[in-house]
Structure 1
Amino acid sequence: MCSPSATFAVWSSAWLNGAAASDDVLDSLKAWGEAHDVVAADAGAAEAFDLPLAFNRPATPVQLLVALRAQGVTSVQLVLPAPGDVRGLGGGGPFTETALRAGEAVVLPGIGYGLVPEPIAEGLVRWTVFSVKTQTPLEYIGLGDAEHGMTDAIRSSAGALQALNVASDRPGVRAELSARLRAVTDVEWPAGTPPRALRVLQRAEEVAAILAIARTDEPGGALSASAAVQRADALRPLSDAVRHARAASVNEAVRVFSEQADRTP
Structure 2
Amino acid sequence: MKIATFNINGIKARIEALPAWLEIAKPDVAMLQEIKSVDEGFPSEIFEDMGYRVETHGQKSFNGVAILSRLPLEDVTRGLAGDDTDEQARYIEATVIGKTAVRLCCLYLPNGNPVPGPKYDYKLAWMDRLHARAKELLVQEIPFVMAGDYNIIEQDTDAAKPELWREDALALPTSRAAYRKIAALGLTNALRAKHPEAGLYSFWDYQAGAWQKNNGILIDHLLLSPQAADLLIDAGIDKNTRAGDKPSDHVPVWAQLDA
- TM-score tier by shorter-chain length is under 0.3
- Greater RCO, CA 8 A, separation 6+: 1
Q: Which has the higher helix share?
A: 1
Q: Which has the higher strand share?
A: 2
Normalised by the length of structure 2, the TM-score is 0.27
Instruction: Indicate the structure (1 or 2) with the bigger Cα radius of gyration.
Output: 1
